[in-house]
Chain A
């Protein structure tokens, strides 16, 4: 006996005629006997912890991170004509523009690499970092409906977004491989694979943590001050041109070079290029990136913790 209610039905069934299926389904998972544990399974109290990154809790929610990432991946290019092609089209088109204007017309040097390979490798890491920061920054405000209804470590939202950027990053890296291959076959240009390649996972990991830290910081600020979201694209644009994306760092005059290396992006981008394409990895700049990442992570963990208490009230 099943009573189905259809939309627009005007009859008002009485509660007694409810679907038996539901009753059955629930009886099936009936608790046979419950022994309450001696210690509480969970205690809710004012959280005194200083950091928003609680390893054990994050681990317990790893499946949610997976599903949130999957959601962001699946929905991002829905209702677009060419879908995932956009992921590689964006850096490729920009590479084309920069190659024509900076590489061919202005003749910007490119550290001994073909200019398109040089600029594409920079752009692909830069787009990961900048896209990650902007997306993580919007992830809290964009998921207000979740924040006010369910508990989970809030930091999963920016992390899930970054997960999708990481997937983009790998897809674009494949294109880089193809680009190198084309240069090898057509122009007989040899990319030297060196021992430096071993540093690649470390560099990518560092880049991810760096982006996550800034993204989380921006996300905390964005909840309270929406100005952040408006100002961010401009700042990101400025940051791009003060980083060695479309030009090599040795274009910067010698005496300014140390100051220039304080930009943590220098170490990340040059490190990525060096590991993959065998150019020089600047030790000092990379050390700066490591230190900055550690400091930023601590700041992000602390500030996010301070603001996450209020998320459900503000968003």
Chain B
């Protein structure tokens, strides 16, 4: 059978290192251009031209009607692949053959202008995502009816509530009829109703025999909607096959490959430690209150995540921050040091910063931690280590945790033990009712 998308040896290279700032200025460019030839002559090394391959030799084929999920961690190349398919960026090498009209929704409402009315924005956005004017005219009533904002269609969208705005934006997107649809998970933001619309749309697309490419962090979404999944890591395809099988590989791989002693990571050689010339990460540890480094944490006890780092240059505000994910890689929360010390430039030296997560807050299961050090405004990320440590939160059945005396499965990504208050006003008939058989609701 002939594929509808054929990707061959696709690679995308990004240059990093030489351009420090997102954009340089004339002076830098000019002085740089003048200096380079001299530097060569003086035997100085040429500026390091660091490049990274966001995607490297990716090959796959997608058949008509397939619903394919693309999974991978941050920086694995998922977004790069999506952007290449939607032609927002150009590949460095390789090719993609498309045998059908492609529609790409990296966001809804691209190009919506707040000053324009709903009607004007429908036409503008429709044209931007690739619809013909005649097509928009034909579907206009349908689009408006679906968004349920008929009354406000001639009102500037800046007066819309965020819900109305999203509904209209989504409605235009839902009426794009490509044979291949590319969806980014960022689409699934917004209120619950909106997410449901998104997911329903995906299922319908599948039923119509359209081809769908869906990128997500959420394994739940992937296993639910996709038959097939492609697992990307470091710009390469690690696994490609039935979604459930690939999801297992993905889950299993993380911890085995990254952290050997899960609760502690150390970099003894400063040259190899993550970071830059300003700061380097030297160790990350999971500790109990007693200072024991352990990978097993009692759900009722606080746990400290300790970051040890070296500051090599003074004058930078350095805010350590930790990112927590559960086993399904659902992003639980981020915490950053906002104390007074962290808001002032830190002198050179060695630091240990620990974030304490209170007991009776996390849910049981595996927690995976990313550690980063950031300078705010302008943002400099000195290092951001993905899945640097992991630990297991062990539940207690002794009745003093958030689960109380309940022994069954507790849902939810966190499990805080919260203070409850109950107010009781005795009903005048309460005593009589106690005698009667009728239940009072």
Beyond A15-B199, A19-B197, A26-B204, is A75–B113 a contact (Cβ under 8 Å)? Answer: yes
Also in contact, A150 and B96, with CB within 8 A (given A15-B199, A44-B85) = no
When distances are taken between beta carbons in the complex, the residues of chain A under 8 Å from B93 are 46
Q: Are A18 and B25 in contact (CB under 8 A)?
A: no
Contact with B along A58-79 (1 / 0, CB 8 A): 0000011011101100110011
CB of B4 within 8 A of CB of A227, answer: no
- B95 beta carbon closer than 8 Å to chain A: yes
Query: When A22-B174, A151-B87 are in contact, do A6 and B196 touch as well, CB less than 8 Å?
Result: no
Q: Indicate whether B331 reaches chain A with its CB closer than 8 angstroms.
A: no
| Interface core residue of A3, A19, A148, A149 (most chain B CB under 10 Å) | A149
The bracket for how many chain B residues form the interface is 35 or more
**A9–B190 alpha-carbon span in the complex (Å):** 13
Q: Does A86 belong to the interface (CB within 8 Å)?
A: no
Contacts of B106 in A (CB 8 A): 148-150
Q: Is B90 a contact of A67 with CB atoms below 8 Å? A: no
Are B110 and A150 closer than 8 Å at their CB atoms? yes
B179 and A31 contacting across the interface, CB-CB below 8 Å = yes
Q: Is B399's beta carbon under 8 Å from chain A?
A: no
Asked if A312 and B88 make an inter-chain contact with CB atoms under 8 angstroms apart, the answer reads: yes
Distance between Cα atoms of A14 and B143 in the complex (Å) = 24
A19 to B146, CA, bound (A): 10
With an 8 A cutoff between CB atoms, is A296 at the interface?
no
Distance of A67 Cα from B135 Cα, bound (Å): 14
Q: Distance (Å) between the CB of A195 and the closest chain B CB?
A: 39
> Are the CB atoms of B127 and A63 closer together than 8 Å?
yes
The reply to whether the CB of A295 lies closer than 8 angstroms to some CB of chain B is no
B96 touches A43 (CB 8 A): yes
CA distance A30 to B174 in the complex (A): 12
Number of interface residues of A (CB under 8 A): 59
Q: Which of B115, B191, B207 contacts A79 (CB 8 A)?
A: B115
**A183 touches B (CB below 8 Å):** no
One digit per residue, 1 when the CB lies within 8 angstroms of any chain A CB and 0 when it does not, for chain B 179-220 equals 100000000000111101101110011011110000000000
Binds A, one of B97-105, B310-318, B386-394, B406-414: B97-105
Q: Is B154's beta carbon under 8 Å from chain A?
A: no
Chain B positions within 8 Å of A43 at CB level: 95-98
Cα-based distance from A151 to B130 in the complex (angstroms)? 9
Verify B128–A150 contact, CB threshold 8 A.
yes
Tell me which of A34-42, A114-122, A131-139, A172-180 binds B. Answer: A34-42
CB of B14 within 8 A of chain A? yes
Q: Are B99's CB and A41's CB within 8 A?
A: yes
Contacts of A149 in B (CB 8 A): 86, 88, 106-107, 110
Contacts A15-B199, A145-B110 given; does A5 touch B193 at CB 8 Å: yes
Residue pair A26, B111 in contact (C-beta under 8 Å): no
- Chain B proximity of A105: nearest CB distance (Å): 40
How many angstroms from the CA of A27 to the CA of B88 in the assembled complex? 29
A21 touches B86 (CB 8 A): no
Instruction: Given A4-B148, A7-B162, verify A44-B95 contact (CB < 8 Å).
Output: yes
B110 touches A146 (CB 8 A): yes
Q: Which of B95, B175, B177, B194 contacts A5 (CB 8 A)?
A: B194
| Residue ranges of A at the interface with B (Cβ–Cβ < 8 Å) | 3-7, 9, 12-13, 15, 18-19, 21-23, 25-27, 29-31, 34, 36-37, 40-47, 63-64, 66-68, 70-71, 74-75, 78-79, 145-152, 223-227, 309, 312-314
Of the A-B pairs whose beta carbons lie under 8 Å apart in the complex, a sample of 26, sorted by A's number, is A5-B196, A7-B162, A7-B163, A9-B193, A22-B201, A23-B200, A26-B204, A27-B208, A30-B209, A36-B99, A36-B100, A40-B97, A40-B99, A41-B99, A41-B100, A41-B101, A43-B96, A67-B124, A74-B115, A74-B116, A150-B130, A151-B88, A224-B23, A225-B29, A227-B25, A227-B26
